[in-house]
Amino acid sequence: MLAAVSVAVLLLWLLTAWFSYTKAQHEAEELMDGNLAQTGRLLLAITQDNEDDLGELAGRLATVRGAADNVYEPPLEFQLCLGDGTILARSIGAPDLPVLGVPGYSDILRKDGSWRVLNVVSGDGRHRVQVSQSIGLRDRAALEVAGQTVLPLAIITPVLLLLIYVSVVKALDPLNRLARDVASRSADNLAALSREDVPNEVGPLVAAINRLLLRVARALDNERRFTSDAAHELRTPLAAIKVQTQVARLSRDAAQTTRALGQIESGVDRATRLVEQLLRLARLDPLNVLPNPQPLDLLPLVEGTLANVLAANPALTQTVRHELPQSAPRVFGDADLLGIALRNLIDNAIRYTPAGSTIVIRQEDEEGGRVCLSVQDDGPGVPDELIARLGERFVRGRDALAEGSGLGLAIVSRIMELHGGHFSARNLATGGFAARLCGLVRADRDAAPAGA
């Protein structure tokens, strides 16, 4: 900032100095031309009235000549003549120039120097006066006047730059203190930055940094809690696998060994599912928005997900179907993530409903033209006090002893956040339970959601 302001000031100074110099020089030259004209008319009047005494006049004028070294009084040279060019009187230093030229100003270049010349003629043409002045002396005078005009600018500019430097440094001092505060912090100090004495222009930046620190603190708290819960959840299947391994090694009964090996395989499967869900959450957590939401048809999405579930559960004892119309709308989103969310809801319904239950996938229209996918079952439902916690990590809503890790709905909730929607659940008044993917934006009505 200092460099930019200093360069701007210097450029402005140069422009002002150049303009002032040229203007002052022009005005000085105009002033000296006016002096030539005034002197010429005065001499012409004297010549007309005192033609017989012009010889003495030249001598008297020589005593009041300006000094050649005085730029403010440069000497004027003159020639007093008759109309035919006969010289009646002339100054000591007057250049030998013809006086029959056209009346007015002219610049004449000679070996002994350059001259600014004014020829004045009386009204009757009987007398002529030529007044001249050395252009070198005129330039010195103009330069002196112009230089005196620019000199104050040259003196003021360094003072101005110093004041700018002091002002900027003083104004930025709170930023330096803020920088020292941040630099001196330890990695675990995520307290909000102080806004005391912070300039108004920097206030929004400090506020944004404080919001970022708050989000980082929350993220770290979530990570610590998540790590602790994950370690606890992984400890259970690993401990069971270890016990069953010992049973299989020590057992002499083939049936007991087979049963222990089956338990080991089941424990490995459960640990594998848990790790897969942990990795999925780890990939979803850093995202703020969907990288590339695309319009997609709900009906093919639901039918494809349902076909995968049925293929993975050939011995399924529940009836699983969908009731989406052929005219199901298109929505903005990521087909893979929405498929994962829908499959998690269907798997949960299968895991927690008894044999012979019916699981139905339905489309519901919401206010504002948004769409909701609902997975409904006729199972026992969820205790009312746990419904609000569904979607939290490692929270299971029904039989806590049933197989599962409590991460499925957390993944669903995170996917819906990325889609600009939300996950909701409720017990049905007619019995059963409904898990819903709400707030999906219709691709045939709205623009892509800001959260996506």
DSSP per-residue letters across 142-173: HHHHHHHHHHHHHHHHHHHHHHHHHHHHHHHH
The verdict on 8 and 78 lying in the same domain is yes
Judge contact between 141 and 70, C-beta under 8 A. no
Sequence-distant contacts of 346-350: CB under 8 A, at least 24 apart: 346/305, 346/306, 346/309, 346/320, 346/375, 347/309, 347/408, 348/404, 348/408, 348/409, 348/435, 349/318, 349/320, 349/375, 349/377, 349/379, 349/433, 349/435, 350/309, 350/313, 350/316, 350/318, 350/320
Q: Give the model's pLDDT for residue 226.
A: 65
The verdict on 46 and 14 lying in the same domain is yes
The verdict on 362 and 413 lying in the same domain is yes
The verdict on 297 and 387 lying in the same domain is yes
Domain boundary among 258, 284, 310: 284
The verdict on 119 and 252 lying in the same domain is no
The verdict on 3 and 102 lying in the same domain is yes
What average pLDDT does the segment 437-448 reach? 75
Q: Give the model's pLDDT for residue 449.
A: 53
User: How many angstroms separate the CA atoms of 30 and 442, rounded?
Assistant: 79
Question: How many domains in the chain?
Answer: 3
Token pair belonging to 104: 């007015």
User: How many angstroms separate the CA atoms of 61 and 430, rounded?
Assistant: 127
DSSP class of residue 446 equals S
CATH number of the domain at 212, please.
1.10.287.130
Q: Give the model's pLDDT for residue 391.
A: 65
Nearest residue to 302 via CA among 279, 325, 319: 325
For residue range 94-111, what is the model confidence (pLDDT) as tens digits?
787 777 777 888 888 877
CATH number of the domain at 137, please.
3.30.450
- What's this model's pTM, rounded to 2 decimal places? 0.49
Residues 6+ away with beta carbon under 8 Å from 97: 79, 108, 115, 117, 130, 132
Domain presence at residue 175: no
The verdict on 252 and 275 lying in the same domain is yes
The verdict on 389 and 407 lying in the same domain is yes
Return the residue matching tokens 């019916």.
358
- Helices 335-352 and 298-312, packing angle to 10 deg: 50
User: How many angstroms separate the CA atoms of 61 and 46, rounded?
Assistant: 12
The H or E element spanning position 361 is: strand 358-365
Residue 80: pLDDT over 50: yes
Sequence-distant contacts of 89-93: CB under 8 A, at least 24 apart: 89/54, 89/55, 89/57, 89/58, 90/58, 91/58, 91/61, 91/62, 91/65, 92/62, 92/65
Nearest residue to 83 via CA among 123, 134, 115, 113: 123
Token pair belonging to 377: 């079952």
The verdict on 307 and 437 lying in the same domain is yes
The verdict on 376 and 415 lying in the same domain is yes
The verdict on 43 and 131 lying in the same domain is yes
For residue range 295-327, what is the model confidence (pLDDT) as tens digits?
999 999 999 999 888 887 888 899 999 999 988
DSSP class of residue 288 equals S
Domain presence at residue 153: no
Mean pLDDT across the chain: 80
User: How many angstroms separate the CA atoms of 54 and 88, rounded?
Assistant: 7
Domain presence at residue 305: yes
From the CB of residue 209, how many other CB atoms can be counted at a distance below 10 Å? 15
Taking the CA atoms of 15, 18, 21 and 27 in sequence, report the sign of the dihedral they define. negative
For residue range 165-198, what is the model confidence (pLDDT) as tens digits?
888 888 888 888 888 888 888 877 888 888 777 7
Tell me the three state secondary structure of residue 272.
helix
Judge contact between 99 and 116, C-beta under 8 A. no
Token pair belonging to 148: 């005196």
Domain boundary among 227, 257, 284: 284
Tell me the three state secondary structure of residue 419.
coil
What average pLDDT does the segment 54-66 reach? 63
Q: Give the model's pLDDT for residue 54.
A: 67
For residue range 377-418, what is the model confidence (pLDDT) as tens digits?
998 888 887 887 776 765 655 554 445 456 778 888 888 888
* Burial of residue 40, with CB atoms counted within 10 A of its CB: 0-12 exposed, 13-18 middle, 19 or more buried: buried
Q: Per DSSP, what are the bridge partners of residue 320? A: 359
CATH number of the domain at 429, please.
3.30.565.10
Domain presence at residue 168: no
Domain boundary among 235, 257, 284: 284
Domain presence at residue 196: no
Domain presence at residue 452: no
The verdict on 297 and 397 lying in the same domain is yes
Instruction: Specify the higher pLDDT residue, 255 or 228.
Output: 255
Domain limits at 396? 290-441
